A and B are shown apart, each in its own frame.
Chain A
């Protein structure tokens, strides 16, 4: 079954404590991306990656890091989380050039920073 898997699904953490949200896809997709979803703001792109070792900033990259060492994995790293990073996060993947192709989303990770 085609899947984008994120972990953890739910997390409450404290300000400044580094955390990583993992993302894995089983569709051999080149393109992967992270979004955050906030009320009234819709989904905003954080980072995206066109292939292994290739990453680019989206619209709201501040406070986040990503890496793409393997094609299937695209972890999102919050080095020093702050309360304004409390949000619902989605990992997504797509085949080839994302435009013109279906984007597959994970189930989301609810992150609360206190």
Chain B
């Protein structure tokens, strides 16, 4: 069964605005990762946050993790048209060898 679920399913914003997408999961995790997928292409790793971390930054990306609520958020600041893609969260299971990917948030950044 799926564990990671992203919200919203689709998001459309103007260039320069911030984009926030959320991920909820059901069971305990070791780590949570965010990935990006351009249309029909492979997924590309963006950022990893460990279960004992609450916030992490990488360039224009900010990820938060709330293990008590079993949720994470990905914030993209000052969005660009090139950020148009689908974004997925991936949660591992306790074994660390299997992953759940959500159905993704489709982000459109309008120039």
Residues of A within 8 A of B (CB): 4, 31, 33, 35, 40-45, 48, 50, 56, 58-59, 88, 90, 92, 97-100, 102-108, 110
A90 to B37, CA, bound (A): 12
A45 to B92, CA, bound (A): 12
In the assembled complex, the CB of A29 is this many whole angstroms from the nearest CB of chain B, namely 13
A58 to B100, CA, bound (A): 10
A102 to B50, CA, bound (A): 12
Name which residue of chain B comes closest to A56, CB basis: B97
Q: Point out the residues of chain B lying under 8 angstroms from A44, CB to CB.
A: 2, 101
Contact between A104 and B45 (Cβ–Cβ < 8 Å)? yes
Contact between A99 and B101 (Cβ–Cβ < 8 Å)? no
Contact between A42 and B2 (Cβ–Cβ < 8 Å)? yes
Contact between B2 and A99 (Cβ–Cβ < 8 Å)? no
A56 to B103, CA, bound (A): 23
A40 to B103, CA, bound (A): 6
Mostly, the A contact residues are strand
Asked whether any CB of chain A lies closer than 8 Å to the CB of B25, the reply is no
Contact between A45 and B99 (Cβ–Cβ < 8 Å)? yes
Known: A43-B88, A103-B45. 13 other contacts (CB 8 A): A35-B101, A42-B2, A42-B104, A56-B97, A90-B42, A92-B43, A97-B97, A99-B31, A99-B92, A103-B99, A105-B42, A105-B43, A107-B42
Name which residue of chain A comes closest to B1, CB basis: A59
Residues of B within 8 A of A (CB): 1-2, 4, 30-31, 33, 35, 40-45, 48, 50, 88, 90, 92, 96-99, 101-104
Contact of B40 among A58, A97, A105, A108 (CB under 8 A): A108
Contact of A31 among B35, B40, B97, B102 (CB under 8 A): B97
In the assembled complex, the CB of B8 is this many whole angstroms from the nearest CB of chain A, namely 14
Q: Point out the residues of chain B lying under 8 angstroms from A90, CB to CB.
A: 42-43
A82 to B4, CA, bound (A): 28
